[in-house]
Structure 1
Amino acid sequence: MPSPSNHSTTCEKATVVNVAVAVIHYKEQYLLGFRNAAQHQGNRYEFVGGKIEASEDAKQAVIREVAEETGFAIHENTIVKLGRLHHDYGDKQVSLQVYKIELTAPQYEQHKHCQYGLEKQALTWVTKADLLVEKYDLPAANKTMLEWLKLPENITITYPLSHFDDHSDPAVAWLQCHQEKLTVAAWVYVRTKEAGTEKLIAQLTRARPDIHVIVPHHADSQFLGTDTHVVAHHLTHTALMQWFNDAQDAAMPDQGISSSHPLIVSCHDADSITAANKLARARLQQQLPPVVGSFLSPVLATQTHPDAVSLGWETWSALAQLSDIPIIGLGGLSPTLIDQAISYGGVSVAGIRQFLSSQKPKA
């Protein structure tokens, strides 16, 4: 489509192209293609994918595109929906439905030395570490996908401070417990509602500089310390729905919501997923750090909230399919259930008791 004239008083709406994207990997090796100079966003690397035809859904399209471009038959592989996102390049708008596919060892061995795809495009395998530090130049729309890929399979949630009320100094007991039991390099959502949360977080990260913390969206960064490794801010279900109810349109500012870090939100039902989707799109439009994940809970019954009605895997999976952002299972889960969560449409699992190590981490 020709670019709108600078003298035009009306803006012609760009065509929206619906695309299925395949993030193909084998363990820590990820497959990238290279766009030639004549293509839109040429001379950049890209994930495998292409336009969704009118006769197919996004999952069918990603299976077809992968077969046409690489020869991989992935219809029997686990295909996990990461999310959906929209990006405006000015001359073209794209709506991307993104899937993550892990190859089997035989598939990888068969194709790991192939330098070109079936459409003569250059292919290369890159490490996840190099991919995430943006060593490879990807189209702008792919930046959010890289943020999604940073989510680990397991996220630990801290005990509430009230869990240690029988100790003479609950804060000291809380700190000692998590300092000793958090696994190495863990992602940790510090879920404390009491005043002084920032002080506790700063103390914990000084004692365990290897961990990556998710903090409440209202946490005061002034008191966290510059050495605190904050990877995301968390928005509770209540705060999310308050934002949604106050929002007049998708482009309005995030009233009081952190604009300095990616967000992880909490959802319990279809209404909150709708709110999360709207917030995710608004932040992309405002070029703010994206919403990178949603705790969808409770999957199963929990000791922490025994009266809460659990979703069950089937309902949880159906809700996950409505989400435009990666889904994290929460509620009655353990790290061993990650494969089950993936098979039902999630990318990660989170919890408290089962996610804390019984052994003190090595120095």
Structure 2
Amino acid sequence: MADGGKDIVHVAVGVIWRGGRLLIARRPERSHQGGLLEFPGGKVEPDESVQQALARELLEETAVTVMPEHLQPLIGIRHDYGDKEVFLDVWQALESAGDPHGVEGQPVFWLTPDELRASDFPAANRPIISAIRLPRQLAITGDVAGYGEAIDRCVLGVERQGPSLVMLRLPSLSLEAYTEVVERCLQRLPAVELLVHDRPELVGEFPVAGVHLSWRRAAVLSGRPVPEGHWFGVSCHNRDELAHAAAIGADYATLGPVLPTRSHPDAEGMGWERFAELANHAVLPVYALGGTAPELLDRAIKSGGQGIAGISWWWSTQSTEAT
């Protein structure tokens, strides 16, 4: 039972990929949230694993076959609709077979990630769309005193490690120097999505992907500081901060420190068990931050995270840890 006495409906949800597109269905008009789009799936029965339930539901609803062992966890979402509370247990499949069609008469079709609009889906599906579009690794710059060094290290790090999403966290730079870094990195790294840090006003001035706010900046907000269509992330450290980030419309959060870091080796991290507890109760994608590395990516995902965020695994040296 959920808090307040309502039953929690455990739903297995499938993000099924083929040729860069995703399998989408339209909910029957007579159903809950009827007429909206959805990722296919259905209720988990008491004698089933979530993977078994999803494979069964996909076959029954769309005639698509997936092997339970090929499913990968994407995100878990708890959402209270007022009349019911659901836990969406979302898994993705890169391999599937069969010609999809609506076995129960519902329309099914394929859409690219860019064609997914949150307003076309039930409210609980918005974090799924974010999780689909966000990469598994969020690279964060180390702090440096000069903008030229920041630009060179950023370019070198991208060339070596290939991150597709980079947060420009450079607190020692003046606004003028920071702006120069943004301009030059946009020119030299056209294939990389760049996030500005604690400077949401720059989102309107430059074609950056969005903004990431420290908890100090996010704590005083009551809504999104940037328009929809731009990423908005928040640094969080506990359950209450994650809840606030979701309430003000954040698309994702970082959570940590998970493990001790090079800059704070004596500071105890929350550990993977606590990270998993918090990430699995969050209603937005969560990156593990602090002491992470690419070899820990699978651990982060299996713990309910979107992936890893950090500095040391892509930045040559660092002087501060992201907070």
TM-score with structure 1 length normalisation?
Answer: 0.67
Identity within the alignment, %: 21
Tell me if structure 2 keeps the 8 A contact 1:158–1:191. yes
- The match for 1:286 is none
**Could you tell me how far apart the structure 2 residues matched to 1:136 and 1:332 are?**
33
Aligned length: 297
- The match for 1:267 is 236
Tell me if structure 2 keeps the 8 A contact 1:155–1:355. no
Q: Which amino acid aligns with 1:33?
A: A
Please state if 1:133 is matched with 2:119: no
**Could you tell me how far apart the structure 2 residues matched to 1:25 and 1:61 are?**
15
Q: What is the Cα deviation at residue 95 of structure 1?
A: 4.7
Q: Which amino acid aligns with 2:311?
A: I
Question: What per-residue deviation string (whole Å, max 9, x for no partner) do you get for residues 231-281 of structure 1?
Answer: 3x22223334x43xxxxxxxx834xx614344211222xxx3223213413
- The match for 1:24 is 15
**What is the SS of the residue equivalent to 2:120?**
coil
Tell me if structure 2 keeps the 8 A contact 1:299–1:329. yes
**What is the SS of the residue equivalent to 2:308?**
strand
**Could you tell me how far apart the structure 2 residues matched to 1:47 and 1:355 are?**
34
Q: Quick one: which of 34, 48, 66 aligns to 2:40? A: 48
5+ residue gaps, structure 2, are 1-5, 61-65, 317-323
Question: What per-residue deviation string (whole Å, max 9, x for no partner) do you get for residues 55-111 of structure 1?
Answer: x6xx96786466245355748844343433456xxxx86655333312364xx13xx
Change (3 A) 1:85 1:217: farther
Change (3 A) 1:349 1:227: same
Q: Quick one: which of 50, 56, 61 aligns to 1:67? A: 56
**Could you tell me how far apart the structure 2 residues matched to 1:150 and 1:76 are?**
20
Please state if 1:116 is matched with 2:102: yes
- The match for 1:150 is 133
Q: Which amino acid aligns with 2:250?
A: V
Q: What is the Cα deviation at residue 230 of structure 1?
A: 2.2
Comparing 73-82 and 291-300, the one that deviates more: 73-82
**Could you tell me how far apart the structure 1 residues matched to 2:12 and 2:57 are?**
13
Q: Quick one: which of 161, 164, 175 aligns to 1:186? A: 164
Tell me if structure 1 keeps the 8 A contact 2:253–2:284. yes
Change (3 A) 1:160 1:317: same
- The match for 2:26 is 34
5+ residue gaps, structure 1, are 1-14, 163-169, 244-251, 284-289, 358-363
Q: What is the Cα deviation at residue 335 of structure 1?
A: 2.4
What CA RMSD, in Å, does the superposition of the two structures yield over aligned residues?
A: 3.6
**What is the SS of the residue equivalent to 2:190?**
coil
**Could you tell me how far apart the structure 2 residues matched to 1:312 and 1:19 are?**
27
TM alignment of 1:341-356, pairs within 5 A: 341-356=300-315
Tell me if structure 1 keeps the 8 A contact 2:14–2:93. no
Comparing 181-190 and 35-44, the one that deviates more: 35-44
Change (3 A) 1:96 1:188: farther
Tell me if structure 2 keeps the 8 A contact 1:327–1:348. yes
Structure with the greater alpha carbon radius of gyration: 1
**Could you tell me how far apart the structure 2 residues matched to 1:85 and 1:199 are?**
42
